[in-house]
Each structure stands twice: as C-alpha cells, then as structure tokens.
A and B are shown apart, each in its own frame.
Chain A
C-alpha cells in the first residue's frame, strides 16, 4: 500500500467494506507511517463528527397527515382502476344476490321477522328532525363528524354535528349547499380525505361552459390551494378551480400557485388550467407568467414543457 491510497483504504474500513488482507495491509502501513496515522485519525474523527447530526423523527402529525393522503390516493386509484364486470358475470351475480335475499327472507319470516327498531334522529338513512336546514354560518358554528353522500339524481347529502345532528340535501349548485360546502372546506378540523371529498362535490358538477362558481366556493378553494399543508389537497383544489369557468379571481389563485407552490404536481395543474384559460382569454399577466415558466431553468421539466406548448397554442 502507498500513502496516496490511504483515503481509499480508510473509507473502506469506515464503511466496514475492507476485506481482511486489505485491513492487514493498512495496519502494516500505519505502523511505519506517522503522517498516514495522523491522516487516518482525522478521517475517523470526521466520520465520528457526522454522527453528531441526530436523526429527524417522524412526528405523529406527519404520520397522520401522510396516512390520510395515502388512503385518499389509494381510494382514487381504486376508482380509476374499476373495470365493469362482463355482462354474463353481472347477470349471474344478480341472480345469486336474488337467491340469497330470497333465502334470507324465508328464514326471517319463518322465525317471526325482525323486532321493530326505532330510527334514531341521527341515522344516516333517515333525515333528522330539522333536515334540510343548514345552521347559520354567519356565527361560525363548529361543525364536526361530517359525512357526504351523493344521491342517484345528483343531489348531495351532507350530515354533520353542530348543536344537533344536521342533514342537508340539495344540488351542489344550490346557494345554500354551495355555501355550506365552502364553509366546510375552510374548516381546519377536517381530515385530508374529508376536504378532498368536499372539493370533489364542489367541482364534480361543474365544467367548461357551466355557470360560474360562487364567490364563496372560489374563495374557499383559493384559500385551500394557498394554505393547505397537504399537497394532495392543494392539487385537488387547483383541479376544482380549473373545472370552473375562468374568472379573474380563479386566475389569480392559479397564478399564485404556479409562482409559489412547492409541489410540481400542483404547479402542473395550475399551468394547464392557465393555458386553457389563456387560449380563451389571452390575459397579459397569465401569458407573462407562462413565458417566465417556459424559460425558467429551475422549473420542473413537465411544467416548463407545458407552459411552452401553451404559449405556442395561444394566438399572440
């Protein structure tokens, strides 16, 4: 071994990757070389110094937040990957279900039927007393235990606890429902999954050509996009804003996200929405922002490419 090979040998030793002959060779060299002994001691000290940097632990808040995000992501994936059953299989499944139901009915009838069960006021299947009445949102009520459901006719059912259990049913575009959804969205007590569901309900019934989103909804989505700590929720808020007819307020929220959101997925949604909007209405601020992104070497490649192709498509 020669002195110039010391670092090579020493790092192998520090990593525990040095073979026995290599270790012996190093020891023999160190016995006769004072400068390499001092150098090795310095390298070992450096290695030890790195150990003073303690590990960052996973906090309970981060764990909860991430598990919610992952569950949400898994649910979305299950929805995307749903494949309808083949017709023959569906008929067979329906026939089997009928047979099971008939057999169960027969057994219940033979035993004298179910005992009568009172329907509780908070049952999700029955409207509570005072159903279809939302609380007065002007007094900032504390709402909890929120549950959503979508009826086959497109109406949305929202249940929550305030002073009592409330159950409200209506179309998402109804002002009362729209205000309630926006209010629920602004509550920090909601989990990422609940917020995502509220966002889906707000945006699911709108689309290009639909009526403008209410100011309450735009404001709540804009605040979520700006401040929510969960990138999955912010991305959903951006997608929801993108699903509405573009307005100056929506453009401002998306421009802000494109300029400052740390997550490239969120910025990508923002750039796509702004590109679509600029194609319809070539707003100078939007075009300037797309131009900056297209030429920003620090920007994510997908975002940059999308901004560039959007500029090409706009008739400037």
Chain B
C-alpha cells in the first residue's frame, strides 16, 4: 500500500489540524485503491465514485477517532466497506452489472476482436463477483486485488482470521464453479 505508516498518520494529524493539504495528499495516495474497491463492490462507476467521495468526507470528520490500532489504509478500507454496505442496502440495483458498465477498453491498443473478448471476460468476472455474498466478496476483493494479508483483512472487516480464510475459500470455490459453468456454456454455444 502506498505511503508509510508514519506518513499516513501524520497526514491524519494534518487533517485534524484543518490542513486541506493533508486531505489532498491522502486522496492522492488512497483514492485509486478505494475507488477500485468500491467499483468491485458496487454496481457502477458513478456510485463507486460517490462512495469514494463519502469515504474521504468521513475521514475529515472522523480523523480524531483514528486510534492507531490498525494501519491507516485498513481504517480507510473499513470505512469504505461500511459505506458500500450502506449504499447496497439502499440500492438493490447494486447486484446488476450491465456489460456497458465495465467500460471501454479501446485505449488498450488491442484489436477489435481482442477488445470485445477482453470486455466480455471482464464483464463475466464482474458478474461472477456480483454473484458472491457481500461478506465473501469483501474478503476476496481485499485479498485478490489489494493484496492485503489475512491479518489486515481481519482488521478491516472486524472478523477473525479464521473467518477471513473461510470467506475467501468459499468465494474461490463459488467462482471456480461459476467459471467452469460459463466455460461449458461458451463451448456449447460455439
């Protein structure tokens, strides 16, 4: 994760003192990761951006509540996970992932066929992720896409290391079954 522990804490201290530069620096460090997390937890880019904004606004109002028991990055992911859960409770559409929501990859320099296949695979992954329970998805996304170790995920989600492992195992098993089912449908269709 970007930024050392001490630096991150001093940024929170600057935010506590009302220094807008501290908030800007924290945004530069963590907005990409938090946006990636939110976009995999929620339905669309716009909602993910709103939730990411909410996280930083909450950080400003809660900077004084950070108690230093976990890394600042874990604290931020915990706020983001709660914000995503709140948003999903409010918006049931969050489980639907339209193909067009996964973005255009035209800038990648691939050919048209490769682009289409890449886009379809990406949509399939997003749909597979959306099929997981929220608990399994949170743990899997933090492990697979953010490289957080079990111990850190347990702090973010407020559960034991054993529970983290169980959620990831089950998520991977579910996805394996889903991907192999998708493969069979794909082969049958072609």
Measured between beta carbons, the chain B residues less than 8 angstroms from A52 are 118, 121-122, 125
Cα A298 to Cα B40 with chains together (Å): 21
Q: Is the CB of A42 within 8 A of B176?
A: yes
- Asked whether any CB of chain B lies closer than 8 Å to the CB of A2, the reply is no
Picked from B23, B125, B175, B176, the residue with its CB within 8 Å of the CB of A74 is B23
Nearest CB in chain A: distance from B118 CB, A: 7
Q: Is the CB of A300 within 8 A of B90?
A: yes
B161 and chain A: residue at smallest CB distance: A17
| Closest CB pairs A-B (n = 4) | A53-B125, A74-B20, A46-B176, A56-B39
Q: Which residues of chain A in 11-49 are interfacial with respect to chain B, using CB atoms and an 8 Å cutoff?
A: 11-12, 14-15, 17, 42-43, 45-47, 49
B178 and chain A: residue at smallest CB distance: A46
Measured between beta carbons, the chain B residues less than 8 angstroms from A78 are 18
Measured between beta carbons, the chain A residues less than 8 angstroms from B86 are 264, 300
- Asked whether any CB of chain B lies closer than 8 Å to the CB of A299, the reply is yes
- Asked whether any CB of chain A lies closer than 8 Å to the CB of B36, the reply is yes
Q: Is the CB of B169 within 8 A of A50?
A: no
Cα A265 to Cα B47 with chains together (Å): 15
Measured between beta carbons, the chain A residues less than 8 angstroms from B32 are 55, 57-58
- Asked whether any CB of chain B lies closer than 8 Å to the CB of A237, the reply is no
Measured between beta carbons, the chain A residues less than 8 angstroms from B40 are 53
Picked from B50, B125, B143, the residue with its CB within 8 Å of the CB of A15 is B143
Measured between beta carbons, the chain B residues less than 8 angstroms from A77 are 18, 60-61
Q: Is the CB of B18 within 8 A of A55?
A: no
Instruction: Report the interface size for chain B: residues with CB under 8 A from the other chain.
Output: 53
Measured between beta carbons, the chain B residues less than 8 angstroms from A264 are 86, 90
Asked whether A70 and B36 contact (CB < 8 A) given A262-B47, A262-B90, the answer is: no
Cα A77 to Cα B122 with chains together (Å): 41
Q: Is the CB of A43 within 8 A of B176?
A: yes
Q: Is the CB of A42 within 8 A of B56?
A: no
The total number of A-B Cβ pairs within 8 Å is 131
User: Could you list some 6 contacts between A and B, CB below 8 A?
Assistant: A11-B172, A15-B143, A53-B122, A56-B48, A74-B19, A298-B91
Measured between beta carbons, the chain A residues less than 8 angstroms from B15 are 74
B20 and chain A: residue at smallest CB distance: A74
Asked whether A298 and B103 contact (CB < 8 A) given A46-B179, A56-B36, the answer is: no
Cα A67 to Cα B32 with chains together (Å): 14
Measured between beta carbons, the chain B residues less than 8 angstroms from A17 are 149-150
Q: Is the CB of B50 within 8 A of A263?
A: yes
16 more A-B contacts (CB under 8 A) besides A47-B172, A263-B50?
Answer: A15-B143, A15-B150, A42-B176, A43-B176, A49-B121, A49-B175, A50-B145, A51-B144, A55-B145, A57-B32, A69-B53, A74-B15, A74-B18, A77-B18, A262-B50, A299-B90
B 95-138 binary contact with A (CB < 8 Å = 1; else 0): 00000000101000000000000100110011001000000000
Cα A111 to Cα B169 with chains together (Å): 80
Cα A17 to Cα B19 with chains together (Å): 39
Measured between beta carbons, the chain B residues less than 8 angstroms from A65 are 53
B 132-164 binary contact with A (CB < 8 Å = 1; else 0): 000000000001110001100000000000000
- Asked whether any CB of chain B lies closer than 8 Å to the CB of A122, the reply is no
Measured between beta carbons, the chain B residues less than 8 angstroms from A8 are 165, 169
- Asked whether any CB of chain A lies closer than 8 Å to the CB of B24, the reply is yes
- Asked whether any CB of chain B lies closer than 8 Å to the CB of A207, the reply is no
Nearest CB in chain A: distance from B147 CB, A: 8
Q: Is the CB of B18 within 8 A of A81?
A: yes
Picked from A56, A66, A75, the residue with its CB within 8 Å of the CB of B103 is A56
